[in-house]
Amino acid sequence: MLALEVRHLHKKYADFQLKDVSFQLEKGYIMGFIGANGAGKTTTIKSILNMIRVDSGEIRVLGKNIAEHEMELKQDIGCAFGDIDFYTRSKIKTLTAITKKFYKNWSDDVYYSYLRRFKLDENKKIAELSRGMKVKYSLALALSHGAKLLILDEPTSGLDPVSRDDLLGVFQQLIMDGEISILFSTHITSDLEKCADFITFIQDGRIVASAEKNDLLESYRLLSGSEKQLHEVKERLISYKINSFGFTGLIHTSDFDHSSDIHAAAPSLEEIMIYFAKKEDVYV
Amino acid sequence: MYNLVMKDLKLGISPWFLALPLFTGALMLIPGWVYFLVPMYFCFITVPNMFGGFKSQHDLLFSTMMPVTKKDIVKARFAVIVVLELLHLLIAMIFGAFTLRLYPNLTYIFFAPHPGFWGLCFVMLAIFNLILLPMYYKTAYKYGAATTVSSTAAILFALAVQWAGIRIAALNDIFYGPGTENTGLQLSILLAGVLVFTAFTLIAYRVSARRFLKVEII
């Protein structure tokens, strides 16, 4: 079953547009949603949450259209915006007391179990929490109302490596029973290499790739060679950089002649992102 | 909607603004003062501070993350504003009743706090709501221009009716002369003011809700 399905999403602003954004997330998996700043990650996420009116396209959560079943589906969605805090001068227990009234499946037992697990003191004010603890508090709220789909916008941005690793471990534990799915946007690609099952890569408002993580990594090759070798593959490269040793460039695996003596290696997600961004620069 | 109202009252609004009507209402005890200013403090102090708080605490995003309709978000905010306005007016009316008894022989330059005057205050707040809220809900976060224009409109209304009450004989009779003794007439003006307040606020709600449906939470 699909936890999330985004189909042919279009949204036009004066200086930016989402163009035919489509991807799907299966239930019980983590999808990393990557892209540079301004690529369209938050716009897509806000479209999923029906906070933005899309020009066309369809978004289905747990099999139902969000535009038609928004109230019902928001009972099953938990979200966190990594860089936005709410009512920071209020205590956790005050914010929780207000929030829980909105959810019919709220469980105090589950809530307190997550507070203990995340070592959250409900007498602390939101402003007193570290960024990682704030994300954990958002997760505790979401899980206490039985959210099946967690939509997290840059939850690890601004976190130190230890807190990030801790949070990624939490994400992996959450999906273990197959009931919860996570869509997790970030530009810190190393986070996704650790925990994501699927990757959706957005660039300039357009989905470049959406696939199982290893398939995505396998579908590209990072080439390095001399300047002379560059001329052999230049036309087929997505983009390339010239350096003192020759060149490095990204190519679709299907476009690469494996009998060639150009050195080819599996790229990281970060390298894929960088070379796609470089491609845009070339066209600009 | 009830949960949204409670969210505003418990999280969004400082308790000070629930206590403020007691302090502004007490200003009614100043003999012969410009009593129009008393409900205006709601426009000058409470509204910009309250809306500024909603903006700085990202209330719009917080509310839209909850399983509630956009219409309910607007409806709840209207309910909170109307409750606060009524609190300001009702407490001021109670203090005003004391004022009339404390200073029975005072010569008023500005309107005395008779029931008819409160009818005018209801109309003033009706105009304030009609301008403030539809302007605010074009974005649901920009409140500066909306507060300025609506407060200016409320002041102009107060100045106009005050001038008319002094200079136009028929109105002078109602608010300064024998009309003040006519309880039926005074209550009729109060009732008319309440009806205008209700009608204008309902119109403001309809326009605001329609505008808010188009607002994108960015």
- Reported as type and span, the H/E element at residue B156 is helix B144-167
Mean pLDDT, consecutive 10-residue segments, chain A of 284 residues?
Answer: 92 90 92 87 90 91 91 90 82 92 91 87 90 83 87 82 82 86 87 87 89 88 86 84 86 83 86 80 48
- Residues A146 and A57 reside in one and the same domain: yes
Q: Which pLDDT tens digit goes with each residue over B77-87?
A: 999 999 999 99
Amino acid A282: pLDDT: 52
Task: Report the alpha-carbon distance of residue A45 to residue B198 in Å, rounded.
Answer: 39
Domain boundary, last residue among A160, A184, A216: A216
Residues in chain A: 284
Tell me which chain A residues have a C-beta less than 8 angstroms from the C-beta of B214: 53
C-alpha A244: how far from chain center: 35
Contact A81 B61 (CB under 8 A): yes
A143: CB partners within 8 A, 6+ apart: A78, A110, A114, A174, A180
Dihedral sign for Cα atoms in the order B58, A146, A134, A88: positive
What total number of domains does chain A contain?
2
Please give the ipTM for the structure prediction: 0.82
- Residues A211 and A224 reside in one and the same domain: no
Distance from CA of A220 to the nearest CA of B (A): 34
- Residues A114 and A137 reside in one and the same domain: yes
- Residues A171 and A255 reside in one and the same domain: no
Contact A53 B214 (CB under 8 A): yes
- Residues A207 and A238 reside in one and the same domain: no
Of the candidates A66, A62, A72, A69, the residue with the CA atom closest to the CA atom of residue A44: A66
Contact A98 B11 (CB under 8 A): yes
- Residues A207 and A228 reside in one and the same domain: no
Amino acid in position A15: D
Contact A53 B7 (CB under 8 A): no
CATH assignment of the domain containing A20: 3.40.50.300
A239: CB partners within 8 A, 6+ apart: A249, A250, A275, A276, A278, A279, A281, A282
Contact A71 B67 (CB under 8 A): yes
Domain boundary, last residue among A216, A250, A266: A216
- Residues A17 and A141 reside in one and the same domain: yes
Amino acid A281: pLDDT: 55
Amino acid in position B31: P
Task: Quote the radius of gyration of chain A (alpha carbons, Å).
Answer: 21
Tell me which chain B residues have a C-beta less than 8 angstroms from the C-beta of A79: 65
Nearest CA in chain B to A74: B67
> Hey, of B2, B11, B73, B218, which one would you mutate to test binding to chain A, going by the most A CBs within 10 A of its CB?
B11
- Residues A31 and A97 reside in one and the same domain: yes
Residues 57-96 of B with CB under 8 A from A: 57-59, 61-62, 64-69
- Residues A229 and A212 reside in one and the same domain: no
- Residues A8 and A140 reside in one and the same domain: yes
Amino acid A5: pLDDT: 93
Amino acid in position A31: M
- Residues A40 and A73 reside in one and the same domain: yes
- Residues A180 and A272 reside in one and the same domain: no
Nearest CA in chain B to A48: B65
Check if A71 contacts B (Cβ < 8 Å): yes
For the record, the structure tokens of A10 come out as 């279009």
Check if A72 contacts B (Cβ < 8 Å): yes
Of the candidates A200, A82, A78, A84, the residue with the CA atom closest to the CA atom of residue A150: A78
Nearest CA in chain B to A126: B57
Check if A228 contacts B (Cβ < 8 Å): no
Check if A16 contacts B (Cβ < 8 Å): no
Helix ranges, chain A (H) = 41-48, 70-74, 92-99, 108-117, 131-144, 161-174, 189-195, 213-218, 227-233, 269-283
Domain boundary, last residue among A189, A216, A243: A216
Contact B218 A52 (CB under 8 A): yes
Greater pLDDT, A233 or B55 = B55
Range of the domain at A274: 220-283
Q: Which pLDDT tens digit goes with each residue over B151-169?
A: 999 999 999 999 999 999 9
How many C-beta atoms surround the C-beta of residue A88 within 10 A? 15
Amino acid A125: pLDDT: 92
Tell me which chain B residues have a C-beta less than 8 angstroms from the C-beta of A70: 67, 69
Nearest CA in chain B to A86: B57
Give me the residue from B57, B67, B217 closest to A86, CB to CB.
B57
For the record, the structure tokens of A253 come out as 């695996």
Q: Which pLDDT tens digit goes with each residue over B99-137?
A: 999 998 888 999 999 999 999 999 999 999 999 999 999
